[in-house]
Amino acid sequence: MSDSTQVLDETALLDRIQAAEGAGRDILDAATREVIGRAPVQDISDVDAAVARAKAAQPGWEARGHDERIALLMKTADAIDANAEALARLLSREQGKPLNGPNARFEVGACSGWLRATAATVLEPQVVVDDGEVHAEMHYRAVGVVGAIGPWNWPMMIGIWQIAPALRMGNTVVVKPSENTPLSVLAMLSVMNDVLPADVLIGVSGDREVGARLAAHPNIDKVMFTGSTATGRKIIESSAGNLARLTLELGGNDAGIVLPGADPKAIAQDLFWGAFINTGQTCAALKRLYVHDSIYNEVVDALKDVVEQTPMGNGLDEKNVLGPLQNKAQFDIVARLVDDARANGGRIVTGGAPASELGELFYQPTLVADVADGVALVDEEQFGPVLPIIRYSDVEEAIASANQLEFGLGASVWGDRDEARKIATRIQSGTVWINSHGGVHPMIPFGGVKGSGYGLEFGVEGLKSVAVPQIING
């Protein structure tokens, strides 16, 4: 642990974390497909060693108390800020998101901001009975060792969503980044570990076998996972063996409902970013849009104007705000769903094909109109730069459509605020935004229902989720 903040360039960050020459696994630039660096490839024995170290360090970390942990987390935020540009450039290359817009620089800034907000969040003991005869309080203590398994779409920011509250409450954390985007996360952990005590925060880089071992490890007390519903179900099965507590943020296929009377031009920009943030690769992005027949064509036209004015390309080019898909598997899903929608009568308003002139994994930002429930693009999560737009005539139809799928992460309603709020209460999702979509705040709890998982993150509820309650009675 060092009291001085080190400022590193991208090369120095990579030198710290990547495997030795001839070892590890090549990680490719999402835009150019050139090698960025070599990710370490660790195995089950490395997981076991990391968990053992974290378990040994946990009592001492908890014993430091809230004030000292808060101070150290504030310093980690300073360290991230000091290295923000190098981290953002590495993230942009590895994940594909451009530097500008709500993308790489935004994500790195969110990491330090979330650390500070989480560190400053107060969780006081709660007096549950005080009637003159009985006095009972509920306190919250560290759960122990947290296994944090992250995704590839917002690898650093979602990593901090898991790490910050866990450390704040006195847990130690073993982080398993996605095998698609390990370098940016390992670089962030390295910067944080310039401040933190040894073995409080440990990264383990490997494949799904490594993640599975971490989730099932007998000395893991809590698992935080963001990823697919299918993998989430496997983690639930693993938790039967170690009785680990779980926070699962799983798949989403968020619906938006545009009410009659909404102003198409006024909402078009926000609708666009609700759907296309991070080139559509966001769990709580707007993924299917239901628009009332009375303004359907106007909404389609207004969105088309925004899409066609938004620059896409290599993320290191300062003018771009949309980038490539992060990996070939996801690119293939997007292409398949658009082709299927076209074959089933969908009208390609704009886009609808690979942007091969930009690179292997670029797909044109695409709007598909005149589709309906039952078409794969509507019913499946596309996780890419494509938005299906579905016409409805009765708001009851739209509500039923919004609720029909297994997912329930987020949703949005657009139009008169009072009417929208009434409709919001009838939608089965963890969050419903009014006249916006996808915004998160460190003090506003966030989590899904149904197949989108369970458990809350952020704010006081997020701290409780990485702690165990203890009743002091007397």
Catalytic center residues: 249, 283
Number of Cβ within a 10 Å radius of residue 404: 13
* SS3 state at 471: strand
What CA–CA distance (Å, rounded) separates 91 from 107? 9
Q: How is residue 63 written in tokens?
A: 């014993």
Query: Do 298 and 349 meet the contact criterion of CB atoms below 8 Å apart?
Result: no
What CA–CA distance (Å, rounded) separates 232 from 166? 20
Dihedral sign (CA 365, 305, 252, 87) = positive
The rounded radius of gyration (Å) of the Cα atoms in the chain is: 23
Q: How is residue 296 written in tokens?
A: 């359907």
What CA–CA distance (Å, rounded) separates 467 from 449? 21
Dihedral sign (CA 269, 270, 275, 279) = positive
Q: How is residue 381 written in tokens?
A: 């999560």
Residue whose structure tokens are 């996972």: 225
Number of Cβ within a 10 Å radius of residue 317: 15
Query: Do 446 and 456 meet the contact criterion of CB atoms below 8 Å apart?
Result: yes
Torsion angle of C-alpha atoms 97, 102, 105, 107, degrees rounded to 10? -90
| Residue 260 CB-half CA count within 13 A | 8
DSSP β-ladder status, 254-258 and 410-414: parallel
What type of residue is 437?
A: H
What CA–CA distance (Å, rounded) separates 399 from 428? 9
